[in-house]
Amino acid sequence: MAAKSSSDQDLLLKQLKAFDESKAGVKGIVDVGIIKVPEIFIHLPIVHSQVTETEFSIPVVDLADAAIGMGRHAEVIDGVRQAAETVGLFQVVNHEIPKRVLDEMLQAMRAFHELLKEVKAEYYSTDIKRKVSFVGSHKLARSSSRHSWRDSLTCDMSSGPLYPQELPEVCRDITLEYSKFAHKLSVRLFKLLSEGLGLKPDHLIGLDCANGHLVAGNYYPPCPEPELTIDSGEHRDVFFLTILLQDNITALQLLYKNQWIDVPPIPGALVVIIGDFLQLISYNRYISDTHRVIAKKEGPRVSVGCFFRYVQQEISAQRVYEPIKELTSKENPPIYRGTTVMDYVTGNFQKGLINGVPGLEYLKV
């Protein structure tokens, strides 16, 4: 459903202004007892289709004994490589993040989002330079007035020093602890992904793939009309790698062979998602997948994403990323031009969102 006149658009903008000024997020709308989805959240009807697990199952990689020199190392490399090459999304078990940490992280993010709105309002901001910010909903694209059905607390763990007191007290200690575990896991994964490309283990680390990350605690209130809106629209992740912690309600879906497939939560597992920049530098060996998070009547639901990306200093340095030279040759020249992360995010990625194609298409030689 789309606005058909300037008056419709004005109404949407007024609704959005009122929504932002409330600083209460999507949860604030639900708390007043709505039975209809407000106009600013309505999209075309969402088809919640899926194929059965007997036709396709999301890859699961057991990282146990993945250290160099141990017997399963080659098997683990092969599992990660195959999943990254064929699907672009997989789950990992035996990742060495304690169950206690996973449980407490989800509980703490739920606790933050269920604070009184007056307390959360202190963190409410749409300023992308702010290191800790709470925001209600997200635009599906810069050109759109339609928003997604979720609230997020984002914590930039890498752009300059993040002082503990900047984090909300209710989730402060566990966010810092979980962030350290997630970074350690990302280093393991980047080493395995490097070896899967036939490179030295530290190759991707040397490209600063694990230097910076953002922690986003997402809260999805129950939706009265889930067929009209979406928690996170169809997209591909921009950066190198995402590590996602889900609760026990299935809502994440992968687009595989033109069908939406549920990514069922596995107790203790984490979802790993390949981003556009890893596809770019791996010369299309690894693929960035298309996925979404559907709205549901069940809830509230919680997830925590760790997005491994550039650090602030690299934006000013304008580092250019391009296909790794060791993966190209005269017979197989690079098919993508190099780009800085900032140019890609503000240019090609946005064009892709608007036109419904991967942003990498605009970088092809």
Tokens 């990323």 sit on residue: 321
Q: Which band of pLDDT confidence, cut at 50, 70 and 90, is reported for residue 3?
A: very low
Domains of the chain and any CATH numbers: 18-330 (2.60.120.330)
DSSP state of 315: H
Could you report the per-residue pLDDT of 250-260, keeping only the tens digit for each? 899 999 888 89
Query: Which range has the top average pLDDT, 6-15, 38-47, 206-215?
Result: 206-215
Tokens 């075309």 sit on residue: 44
CA-nearest of 329, 267, 337, 84 to 189 is 84
Which residues lie below 8 Å from residue 189, measured CB to CB, with a gap of 6+? 80, 92, 241, 243, 272
Higher pLDDT, 330 or 274: 274
Give me the pLDDT at residue 230, please. Answer: 87
Q: Is a pLDDT exceeding 70 seen at residue 364? A: yes
Give me the pLDDT at residue 22, please. Answer: 87
Q: Is a pLDDT exceeding 80 seen at residue 353? A: no
Give me the pLDDT at residue 316, please. Answer: 44
Give me the pLDDT at residue 312, please. Answer: 55
Are 274 and 289 in contact by the 8 Å Cβ rule? The answer is yes
Average pLDDT, the chain: 87
Average pLDDT over residues 21-45: 88
Q: Is a pLDDT exceeding 80 seen at residue 282? A: yes
Q: Is a pLDDT exceeding 70 seen at residue 268? A: yes
Give me the pLDDT at residue 98, please. Answer: 97
SS3 332: coil
Share of the chain above pLDDT 70, in %: 88
Total-model pTM? 0.91
Distances (CA, A) of 15 to 23, 41, 245, 268: 13, 10, 32, 40
Average pLDDT over residues 232-261: 90
Average pLDDT over residues 274-281: 94
Could you report the per-residue pLDDT of 304-328, keeping only the tens digit for each? 999 998 665 554 457 889 999 999 9
The secondary element (H helix, E strand) that includes residue 243 is strand 241-246
CA distance 37 to 11: 15
Could you report the per-residue pLDDT of 115-148, keeping only the tens digit for each? 999 999 999 988 877 889 998 655 544 445 568 8
Could you report the per-residue pLDDT of 159-186, keeping only the tens digit for each? 667 889 999 999 999 999 999 999 999 9
